[in-house]
């Protein structure tokens, strides 16, 4: 099975995050009878973009992406019921650093043991720096019973200085947000597409998500800075929100919200 193009047989069950979900309030996957293999595809939540302060000359950094984790397990090693606590995207900062997303957890219902933790994306810095890299999914005794690969998404872009655009995000299956532009008449940055799919090209544009023929998600674009400071774009699933453009004496910018996580599960 070649990452990330090939998929297991059949159609997956897809689980999305629930507002207010906690370690005791997620959603549940029930193992079907008579199967031999289970394949988990986990996209953790992205971080929110930073927002620039009043009269700032530097745009804010884009929010960081989550991680993409795939895990193939023999069905006999998988609990009958797993609680899925799916992470929520971080809020964009308003004249401040964006919020990190929340982690995605797998919890065995019968023992309440945490089987897997997928780290979420970090928030973009209000004063210009892009969010740092998320924590990839660590091996546990349960994960070691299967085959796992966990990778961080494409890096977020840093904010621009003075009249310079912010940096574009780096291509990936999921991506960080673009950086907000610096003070002056400059357009925002782009969130970069991957695998031949387009960049997010509209200033302050929202990221997008596609599910077929491959899974791909982009972060939000960075905000522009013309007469007023532009806000960052919201992200697709698992990607980072765009950083806000540099503020002026009248207004500050707000970063885009990070994308929520999701989980896809195939069983056969």
The per-residue pLDDT for 5 is 40
Q: What is the pTM of this model?
A: 0.91
Count other C-beta atoms under 10 Å from residue 18's C-beta: 15
Provide mean pLDDT across the span 99-111.
94
The per-residue pLDDT for 6 is 52
Q: What pLDDT, in 10s, does the model give residues 190-218?
A: 788 888 888 887 665 899 999 988 899 99
Q: What pLDDT, in 10s, does the model give residues 117-149?
A: 999 999 999 888 989 889 899 999 999 999 999
Residue 226 has pLDDT above 80, yes or no: no
Residues 6 or more apart from 213 whose CB is under 8 A from it? Answer: none
The three state secondary structure string of 202-219 is CCCCCCCEECCCCCEECC
In whole angstroms, give the CA distance from residue 221 to residue 203.
Answer: 7
Q: What pLDDT, in 10s, does the model give residues 114-123?
A: 999 999 999 9
| Cα 35 to the center of its chain, rounded Å | 31
Provide mean pLDDT across the span 79-87.
95
Task: Single out the residue of 235, 223, 257 nearest to residue 56, CA to CA.
Answer: 223
More confident of the two residues 229 and 129: 129
Question: How is 48-83 classified by DSSP, letter by letter?
Answer: PPP-PPTT-SBPPPPPPP-EEEEEEEEGGGS-SEEE
């Amino acid at each position: 099975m070649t990452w990330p193009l090939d998929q297991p047989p059949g159609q997956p069950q897809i689980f999305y995050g629930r507002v207010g979900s906690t370690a005791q309030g997620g959603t549940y996957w029930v193992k079907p009878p008579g199967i031999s293999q289970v394949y988990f595809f986990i996209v953790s939540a992205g971080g929110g973009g930073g927002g620039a302060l009043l009269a700032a000359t530097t745009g804010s950094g884009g929010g960081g992406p989550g991680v993409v984790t795939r895990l193939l397990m023999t069905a006999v090693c998988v609990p009958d019921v797993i609680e899925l606590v799916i992470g929520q995207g971080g809020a964009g900062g308003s004249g401040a650093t964006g919020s990190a997303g929340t982690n995605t957890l797998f919890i065995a219902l019968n023992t309440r043991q945490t089987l897997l933790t997928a780290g979420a994306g970090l928030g973009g810095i209000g004063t210009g720096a892009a969010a740092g890299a998320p924590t990839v999914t660590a091996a546990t005794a349960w994960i070691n019973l299967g085959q796992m690969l966990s990778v961080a998404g494409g890096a977020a872009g840093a904010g621009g200085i003075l009249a310079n655009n912010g940096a574009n995000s780096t291509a990936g299956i999921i991506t960080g947000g673009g950086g907000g532009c610096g003070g002056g008449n400059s357009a925002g940055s782009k969130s970069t597409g991957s695998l031949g799919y387009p960049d997010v090209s509209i200033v302050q544009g929202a990221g997008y998500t596609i599910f077929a023929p491959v899974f791909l998600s982009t972060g939000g674009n960075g905000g522009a800075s013309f007469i007023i400071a532009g806000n960052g774009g919201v992200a697709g699933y698992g990607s980072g929100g765009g950083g806000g453009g540099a503020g002026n004496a009248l207004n500050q910018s707000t970063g885009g919200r990070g994308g929520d996580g999701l989980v896809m599960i195939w069983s056969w």
